[in-house]
């Protein structure tokens, strides 16, 4: 599925906004905690009409059977398996083997399938966050939107989630949109970035390339990844040419070459 908007004018720029499949996008706003209403953006800039279909759960948005945005799952007094089964039934997801689907959707995000018998309120914060992704996958959407996807996750779970995201995009042609205020995470884990200011798109591009443009980021008060800032300062201060790298081990090797 492709969401496309052509020739949007922002100041003197023409911006073509197009979300392609097979890609992990990051979306971020200014560092002054501007609320990211990703759906407002998609509504404003695309020709896909989005009608919010709020059934029983105001935290689940499922649009035109193609896009999911699962917000925070609170400490609910319902068992995990019952919650997931209710979603399958309420949204008429046409799943033959519900029990297997529930177990698979938990296992794939790293939640032990035995935890399906626990109450959601007894899950840890990180498990409830991972459960969001499980719920998303029940819908088999073409586009998955997650706001603050790495919220409360440790590095092992972040890596596991990223392996999953890459598999979903590479093997299953899904589009993943991650909204976050953490530039370090977006820099490391996304392929393309969308920058928003006052609910307007001000920049779209390859993650590595757009984050090199430190002046743009500073001028627009966007958060800058620590590794980018280090490279930028080193290059400017010492007139060297370190590369902008996403993995710290590559940064170390690059520093070694330039000493």
Partner 1 sequence: MINNYIELNKINYKDILNNFSISFAKNKFYTLTGANSCGKSTLLRLISNEIELIDDINLNDKLLSDYDKIDYKKKVTLLDERNIDFIEETISNEIKLILLKNNNYSKEYLKSTLLKYNLYDNRNKKINNLSLEEKIYLMFIKKILSNYEVILIDDIDNYCSETIMNRIINLINLNKNNKLFIMTIKNINYSLESDKLIVINKKGIVLEGNPKDVLNKDNILNKNGIELPFMYDLSIKLRDYNLIDEIILDTDRMIDELWK
Residue closer to partner 1 (CB basis): 142 or 147: 147
Residue closer to partner 1 (CB basis): 15 or 153: 153
Q: What angle do CA 110, 113, 116 make, to 5 degrees?
A: 115
Rounding to the nearest 10 degrees, give the CA dihedral for residues 124, 125, 128, 132.
-160
Residue closer to partner 1 (CB basis): 92 or 259: 259
Q: Which stretch binds partner 1 (CB under 8 A): 17-25, 50-58, 149-157, 210-218?
A: 149-157
Spatial CB neighbours of 166, under 8 Å, sequence gap ≥ 6: 24
Residue closer to partner 1 (CB basis): 101 or 188: 188
Contact code string over 71-110 relative to partner 1, x by CB under 8 A: ----x-----------------------------------
Contact code string over 8-47 relative to partner 1, x by CB under 8 A: -------------------------x--------------
Q: Contacting partner 1 (CB under 8 A), which of 81, 85, 103, 127?
A: 127
Asked whether 133 and 164 are in contact (CB, 8 A), the reply is yes
Q: Contacting partner 1 (CB under 8 A), which of 50, 224, 229, 245?
A: 229
Q: Contacting partner 1 (CB under 8 A), which of 55, 89, 221, 252?
A: 252
Asked if 119 touches partner 1 (CB under 8 A), the answer is no
Asked if 237 touches partner 1 (CB under 8 A), the answer is yes
Q: Contacting partner 1 (CB under 8 A), which of 100, 233, 247, 257?
A: 233
Restricting to residues 169-228, which ones interact with partner 1 according to CB under 8 A? 184, 226-227
Least distance from partner 1 to the Cβ atom of residue 164, Å: 15
Residue 9 vs residues 12, 37, 46, 202, 220: alpha-carbon distances, Å: 7, 20, 14, 10, 18
Q: Contacting partner 1 (CB under 8 A), which of 40, 248, 250, 257?
A: 248
Tell me which residues touch partner 1 (CB under 8 A).
33, 75, 124-127, 151-157, 184, 226-227, 229-230, 233-234, 237-238, 240, 248-249, 251-252, 255-256, 258-259
């Amino acid at each position: 599925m492709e969401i496309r908007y052509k020739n949007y004018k922002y100041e003197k720029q023409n911006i073509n906004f197009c979300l392609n499949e097979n890609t992990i996008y990051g979306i971020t706003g200014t560092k002054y905690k501007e609320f990211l209403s990703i759906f407002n953006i998609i509504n404003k800039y695309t020709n896909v009409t989005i009608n919010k279909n709020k059934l029983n759960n105001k935290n689940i948005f499922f649009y035109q059977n193609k896009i999911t945005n699962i917000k925070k799952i609170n400490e609910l007094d319902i068992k995990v398996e019952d919650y997931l089964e209710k979603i399958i039934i309420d949204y008429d997801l046409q799943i033959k083997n519900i029990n297997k689907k529930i177990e698979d959707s938990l296992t794939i995000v790293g939640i032990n399938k035995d935890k399906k018998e626990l109450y959601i309120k007894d899950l840890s914060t990180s498990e409830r966050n991972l459960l969001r992704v499980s719920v998303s996958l029940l819908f088999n959407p073409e586009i998955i939107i997650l706001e603050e996807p790495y919220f409360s996750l440790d590095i092992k779970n972040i890596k596991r989630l990223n392996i999953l995201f890459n598999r979903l995009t590479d093997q299953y042609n899904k589009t993943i949109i991650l909204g976050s205020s953490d530039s370090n995470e977006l820099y490391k884990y996304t392929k393309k970035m969308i920058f928003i200011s006052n609910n307007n798109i001000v920049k779209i591009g390859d993650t590595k390339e757009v984050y090199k443009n430190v002046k743009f980021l500073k001028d627009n008060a966007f958060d800058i990844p620590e590794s980018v800032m280090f490279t930028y300062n080193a290059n400017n201060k010492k007139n060297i040419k370190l590369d902008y790298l996403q993995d710290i081990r590559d940064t170390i090797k690059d520093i070694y070459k330039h000493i």
